[in-house]
Amino acid sequence: MLSLAIFGFEQKVLPDTMDGFAFNVSLLPVHKSSNALKERLSCLRLALSHLSIRRRCFWISLFVLMSLTITALLACGFLQWRSAVPVDVLPLDSASSRLPKHLIPENYFTAPPTVYFRDSLHNDTRYITSFLSAGFTNDVMTLGNLIYLALITSRVAILPPFTSHIRSIAAPLPFSEIFDVPRLITALNAPVLEWSQVKDLEAAARQDVQDIIGCWNVWEVDNVGADGPRGSFTPHLLNLHISYTRAPPDIKLMAGYEHDSHSTFWSLARLAFPEARAEVLARPDLNPSVLLSVRRDQTPG
C-alpha cells in the first residue's frame, strides 16, 4: 500500500473489492499537521511580541536619557545665572532694622557698649547666658539649649562667640558670622543678643577690666566624678570674674547615676526665678560657692 502526503493531505491506495482494481482516495487533513501550523503561528506572534517589547524599552530608555540631559543642562544654566547675580550681604545692624519693633536687638541694650556689660543692660529686662567649652557641634547644641532656656524663662539670651576652632589658633568667631541672626529672631519671635553688643571686648582687654558675675555650677552636679565647674576659655575672652554656686542635686536627670550627665530644662528654668533662687542660695552648706560670693547674677553655666 502506498501513502503520499501532499500539502497537508494524505492519500492512500485502497483495494477495490468489487473489480480487483486499486484507486486513490483523498482523505481529510490530519490533526497532527494542523497543530504544527498553530504552533508556528504562536511562535511567530511571540517573537513579534518580544520585538515590540524591546522597541518600547529602547524608546523609553532614550526618552529618560534625553530628559536627564535636558534637566542637567537647565540646572547648570540656572547655577551659572545665580552665580552671576550679585548678593547683598547686609550687616547685622542693617538687617536688624527690618525686624518688628519688639524684636529689634537694639531695644534690649544701650549702645555703644562699654567695658562693663551691666552698663549696656536694661534694668527692666532679664537676661541669660552660658559659656562654651567643647567642639563646634556641641557648642552649637549648647547655644540651642541656651536659647530654649531663654524662651521658657522669658529672658533674653546673650550668645558668646565660638572658640571651638581646629588647633585653637583662629580668632573667636561671633555667632552672627555663621548664622543669620535676624532670621533666627524672626523664627523665634524673641530677641537674641551677642556679647559683642553689650560689652566692648577689645577695650576691656586693653584696660584689663573684669566684670564680676555669678553663675550656676551645673557641670559638677551632672557629672558625678567632677570636682568643680567645667573649664572654659569664654570667661577669659569676655573678661569675666565668675562666682560659681553649685546647683541643687534635683537638676540631674538621673539622680546619683554616674553614667548620666544630663539636666532637665525645667529644673534649670526653676533657678531663673527669684523664689527658687533664694531657696537654693539660703543653703550655702548644700550649694557652696567658689571664687566669690556674688549673688546678683545667677545664670546657668
What whole-number distance in Å separates Cα of residue 244 and Cα of residue 257?
23
| Domain assignment of residue 76, given as a range | 1-87
Indicate if 82 and 137 belong to the same structural domain.
Answer: no
Indicate if 40 and 189 belong to the same structural domain.
Answer: no
Indicate if 202 and 224 belong to the same structural domain.
Answer: yes
Indicate if 160 and 263 belong to the same structural domain.
Answer: yes
Indicate if 65 and 41 belong to the same structural domain.
Answer: yes
Predicted pLDDT at 148: 96
pLDDT tens per residue, range 181-236: 999 999 999 999 999 999 999 999 899 889 999 899 999 999 988 888 888 889 98
Q: Which three cell numbers stand for residue 179?
A: 548664622
Q: Rounded mean pLDDT of the chain?
A: 78
What whole-number distance in Å separates Cα of residue 31 and Cα of residue 38?
11
Predicted pLDDT at 51: 57
Indicate if 182 and 205 belong to the same structural domain.
Answer: yes
What string of DSSP letters covers the chain?
--EEEETTEEEEEEE-TTTS-EEEEEPPPPHHHHHHHHHHHHHHHHHHHHHHHHHHHHHHHHHHHHHHHHHHHHHHHHHHHHHHS------HHHHHTTS-GGG-GGGGBPSSP-SSGGGGB-TT--EEE----S-HHHHHHHHHHHHHHHHHTT-EEEEPPB---GGG-SPPB-GGGTS-HHHHHHHHTS-EEEHHHHS-HHHHHHHT--EEEEEEE-HHHH-TT--SPPP-SHHHHTTEEEEEEEPPGGGBSSTT-TT---B-HHHHHHTTSHHHHHHHHT-TTTS-EES----S-EEE-
Indicate if 169 and 48 belong to the same structural domain.
Answer: no
Indicate if 63 and 112 belong to the same structural domain.
Answer: no
Least confident of 225-229, 270-274, 295-299: 295-299
Predicted pLDDT at 6: 31
pLDDT tens per residue, range 51-69: 566 666 776 777 778 888 8
What string of DSSP letters covers 18-54?
TTS-EEEEEPPPPHHHHHHHHHHHHHHHHHHHHHHHH
Domain's final residue, options 44, 61, 87: 87
Predicted pLDDT at 135: 87
**Of 41 and 73, which is predicted with more confidence?**
73
Total tally of structural domains belonging to the chain: 2
Indicate if 227 and 104 belong to the same structural domain.
Answer: yes
Predicted pLDDT at 225: 87
- 268 residue type, one letter: L
**Of 79 and 112, which is predicted with more confidence?**
112
Predicted pLDDT at 24: 40
pLDDT tens per residue, range 21-53: 333 433 344 444 566 666 776 776 666 566 566
Predicted pLDDT at 145: 95
Place of cell 545692624: 93
Indicate if 72 and 157 belong to the same structural domain.
Answer: no
Indicate if 129 and 14 belong to the same structural domain.
Answer: no
User: Are the C-beta atoms of residues 217 and 226 closer than 8 Å to each other?
Assistant: no
pTM for the model stands at: 0.65
Domain's final residue, options 41, 64, 87: 87
**Is the pLDDT at 109 greater than 90, yes or no?**
yes
Domain's final residue, options 48, 65, 87: 87
Indicate if 64 and 114 belong to the same structural domain.
Answer: no
Angle made by CA atoms 134, 138, 139, in degrees to the nearest 5: 70
